[in-house]
């Protein structure tokens, strides 16, 4: 971004505030357009905003083909590093173009066309990225579903986005456990009302799947003899993908990402936040099923001509807490992104950072953390041992890129531990009181962003305009409600303190306690229930269930607890990490019948709390405390 290149953070923010249209039009120059945009913002349908809506372009062309055209064909685009299988492989941009065009050709031959939805249910293999790119090459819309979700969650997504096809792998690999995907996929298709026309299955040698004749096609066989597909130009506001995320209820929200704004914003972040140059290696140790995986395993690095790493492993145990450092040394990683929980896991196994010393990390220039609150101890530990800037940055599935960060590519601003630093251009972040009034420095309130949100953020929810309005736009008219609470200090630094809804964050995974409650309530012996997120040293939060049983149920409570734990694993998936539940006689409520979950969290965490004025019967809190003590909480 030539004319912004020697600007400092405050100047950049001022430039954006004064000239938002020019700001984003300049950022758009880094994208290849079939038809250039004549303007950035289209507010003709506010509060539904669109960006670069009169442009035509293709995401796959920008992420792959143009790099081959421009001489990067021999550069490695994707490194697959799997400590679980003990294998590594590399794919150059030229090879990636070939693979993507062939798979897209196969999908097109089976009738996939612009606007069709394709679900991708795959583990951390490079074919997951090939599948994403092949879908967008055709102007179709992908929806990647995380492998740790159960069949029922997959079915909910199938019914919501009605895919023409599903691309899956035969299995995923967790340490010590092979996750058979095909039975989950078959189960989901059976549960769902909508039936996809066909599936494409990548057979992995660890566990091959049985294919159903006429519905399931083998990944390789389906590509035999097909004509490779060209990139299909689409409108700037055409959806590139839908990514489901947890909301207040069990029904996930289908966040839409539009083609042009997505590319413009991600390209911008690679340079201005992550401070990498094209050709360098960028690694996000997340999963393609999450937004971090979409933005920073797949699209961001590839749009920017970086080499990305698809890592199939865990921070610890594959084989040890030195894995991250081994990958960074071996592949010369310049910028590394992971969740605080992953660093906490490493720190717990290797508190003195001994394993770090075994590796040459001289290429690493920064560590980025997001997905949950980064506690000061973890940041300090990482900084002391890695001796590079450790950047906490705050964002959401809805925004697709950082709302607040330390923009290393612009200027490294002083770090304040506990704060993800300052808002990025495009985001006018405000702290609001219950009446929607802007609050002063250091005052705690709801975090909201003045509309319009910048390019790349959600233009809406899939097939759910009303829910979009209600979830994000209604509480504070003129603002986007983030669902987070916090404050801004006198220097403009943001502090993210808590969620204002029923979302919890377990090991960097966003989960709905409401969704878990729906599952618990489905158990025949459960009359009433509540799920809260309690503080956990490793995972940030862990869900704990409270069960009130139907009158006359005389079974041992342990049996019911075991059954509900199994039920959540079956219905939501292992990723929910739901392992703790207690049986209680009653739940604490307000006089109007609202369950006092926040007070229960305070009791579990052993924190001070004010007796809610509206509580129906304060004595119940002692019962809750006693129940929590039986599972090691409320100390
Ligand atoms: N497919 C199937 N199952 C999966 C899965 C996947 N893709 N990912 C996780 N699971 C399962 C795990 O096997 C585990 O099952 P278990 O109950 O049988 O042990 C369960 O889901 C919980 O997994 P996880 O949250 O990963 O916990 P863990 O105890 O296995 O590992 C950490 C703990 C901290 C090492 C791990 O959570 C981690 O690496 N976190 C980083 C998270 C991250 O990168 N988030 C992305 C946001 S940036
Ligand atoms: P997700 O949509 O899964 O990325 O989850 C987004 C939510 O995770 C945010 O709304 C926050 O509650 C939380 N979160 C993400 N990053 C941070 C951060 N750096 N600090 C505090 N909370 C964060």
CA dist 341 and 351 (Å) reads 14
What pLDDT does residue 7 have?
A: 66
Q: The tokens of 357 are what?
A: 């010393």
CB 259 within 8 A of CB 266: no
* Selection from 506, 505, 515 nearest residue 577 by Cα: 506
Q: Which residues pair with 92 in a beta bridge?
A: 76
pTM here? 0.96
499 within ligand 2 shell (Cβ under 6 A) = yes
The segment(s) of the chain belonging to CATH 3.40.50.12780 are 8-313+393-487
C-beta contacts of 605-610 below 8 A and 24+ residues apart: 605/534, 605/535, 605/633, 606/633, 606/634, 606/635
Confidence of residue 616 (pLDDT cuts 50, 70, 90): confident
Q: What is the CATH number of domain 8-313+393-487?
A: 3.40.50.12780
CB 634 within 8 A of CB 544: no
The segment(s) of the chain belonging to CATH 3.30.300.30 are 507-629
342 within ligand 1 shell (Cβ under 6 A) = yes
CA of 394 to the centre of ligand 2 (A): 6
As a whole number, the mean pLDDT across the chain is 96
505 within ligand 2 shell (Cβ under 6 A) = yes
Stretch among 150-159, 266-275, 494-503 having the lowest mean pLDDT: 494-503
* Stated length of the chain: 635
CB 181 within 8 A of CB 162: no
Confidence of residue 1 (pLDDT cuts 50, 70, 90): very low
C-beta contacts of 346-355 below 8 A and 24+ residues apart: 346/315, 346/316, 346/321, 347/378, 347/381, 348/316, 348/538, 349/316, 349/320, 349/321, 350/321, 350/322, 353/381, 353/384, 353/385, 355/320, 355/321, 355/322, 355/325
Tell whether the torsion through CA atoms of 112, 117, 123 and 126 is positive or negative. positive
Confidence of residue 2 (pLDDT cuts 50, 70, 90): very low
Alpha-carbon distance values, 46 to 397, 478, 519, 540 (Å): 21, 10, 37, 37
What's the whole-number mean pLDDT along residues 412-418? 94
HSE-CB at 547 with a 13 A cutoff on CA atoms is 28
What pLDDT does residue 544 have?
A: 98
CA dist 265 and 173 (Å) reads 33
Q: To test ligand 1's pocket by mutation, which of 342, 375, 538 has the most ligand atoms within 8 angstroms of CB?
A: 342
CA dist 352 and 339 (Å) reads 20
Would you say residue 518 has pLDDT above 50? yes
Q: To test ligand 2's pocket by mutation, which of 246, 284, 370 has the most ligand atoms within 8 angstroms of CB?
A: 370
Would you identify the CATH topology of the domain 507-629?
A: GMP Synthetase; Chain A, domain 3 (3.30.300)
Q: Measured from the CA of 370, which atom of ligand 1 is nearest?
A: 48
């Amino acid at each position: 971004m030539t004319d912004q290149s020697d600007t400092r953070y405050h100047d950049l923010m001022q430039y954006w505030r004064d000239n938002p249209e020019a700001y984003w039009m300049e950022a758009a120059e880094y994208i290849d357009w079939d038809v250039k945009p004549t303007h950035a913002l289209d507010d003709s349908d506010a509060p539904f905003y669109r960006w670069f809506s009169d442009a035509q372009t293709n995401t796959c062309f920008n992420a792959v083909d143009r790099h081959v055209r421009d001489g990067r064909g021999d550069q490695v685009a994707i490194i697959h590093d799997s400590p679980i299988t003990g294998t590594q492989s590399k794919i150059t941009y030229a090879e990636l173009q070939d693979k993507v065009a062939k798979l897209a050709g196969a999908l097109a031959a089976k009738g996939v066309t612009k606007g069709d939805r394709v679900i991708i249910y795959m583990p951390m293999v490079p074919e997951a990225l090939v599948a994403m790119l092949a879908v967008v090459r055709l102007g179709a819309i992908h929806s990647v579903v995380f492998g740790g979700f159960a069949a029922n969650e997959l079915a909910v997504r199938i019914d919501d986005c009605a895919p023409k096809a599903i691309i899956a792998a035969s299995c995923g690999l967790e340490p010590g456990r092979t996750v058979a995907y095909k039975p989950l996929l078959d189960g989901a298709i059976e549960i769902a009302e909508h039936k996809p026309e066909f599936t494409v299955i990548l057979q992995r040698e660890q566990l091959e799947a049985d294919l159903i004749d006429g519905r399931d096609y083998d990944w390789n066989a389906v590509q035999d003899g097909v004509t490779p597909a060209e990139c299909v130009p689409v409108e700037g506001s055409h959806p590139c993908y839908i990514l489901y995320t947890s909301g207040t209820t069990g029904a996930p929200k289908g966040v839409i990402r539009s083609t042009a704004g997505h590319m413009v914003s991600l390209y911008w972040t690679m340079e201005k936040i992550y401070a990498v140059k094209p050709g360098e290696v960028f690694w996000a140790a997340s999963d393609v099923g999450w937004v971090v995986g979409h933005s920073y395993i797949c699209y961001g690095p590839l749009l920017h001509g970086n080499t990305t790493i698809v890592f199939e492993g865990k921070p610890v145990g594959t084989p040890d807490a030195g894995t991250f450092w081994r990958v960074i040394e071996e592949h010369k990683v310049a910028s590394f992104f992971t969740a605080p929980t992953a660093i906490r896991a490493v720190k717990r196994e290797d508190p003195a950072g001994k394993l770090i010393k075994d590796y040459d990390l001289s290429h690493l220039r920064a560590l980025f953390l997001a997905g949950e609150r980064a506690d000061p101890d973890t940041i300090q530990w990482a900084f002391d041992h890695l001796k590079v800037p450790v950047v906490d940055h705050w964002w959401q599935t809805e925004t697709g890129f950082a709302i607040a960060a330390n923009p290393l590519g612009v200027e490294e601003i002083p770090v304040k531990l506990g704060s993800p630093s300052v808002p990025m251009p495009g985001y006018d972040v405000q702290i609001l009181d219950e009446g929607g009034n802007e609050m002063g420095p250091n005052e705690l309130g709801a975090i909201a962003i003045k509309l319009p949100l910048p390019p790349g953020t959600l233009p809406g929810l899939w097939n759910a305009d009303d829910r979009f309005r209600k979830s994000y736009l209604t509480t504070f008219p003129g603002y986007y409600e983030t669902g987070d609470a916090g404050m801004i200090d006198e220097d403009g630094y943001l502090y993210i303190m808590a969620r204002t809804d029923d979302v919890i964050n377990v090991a960097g995974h966003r989960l709905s306690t409401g969704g878990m409650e729906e599952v618990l309530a489905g158990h025949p012996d459960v009359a009433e229930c509540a799920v809260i997120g309690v503080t956990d040293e490793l995972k940030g939060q862990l869900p704990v269930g409270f069960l009130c049983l139907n009158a006359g149920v005389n079974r041992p409570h342990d049996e019911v607890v075991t059954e509900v734990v199994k039920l959540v694993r079956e219905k939501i998936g292992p990723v929910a990490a739901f392992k703790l539940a207690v049986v209680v006689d009653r739940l604490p409520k307000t006089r109007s019948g609202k369950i006092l979950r926040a007070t229960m969290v305070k009791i579990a965490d052993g924190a001070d709390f004010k007796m809610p004025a509206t509580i129906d019967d304060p004595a119940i809190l002692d019962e809750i405390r006693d129940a929590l003590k039986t599972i090691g909480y409320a100390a």
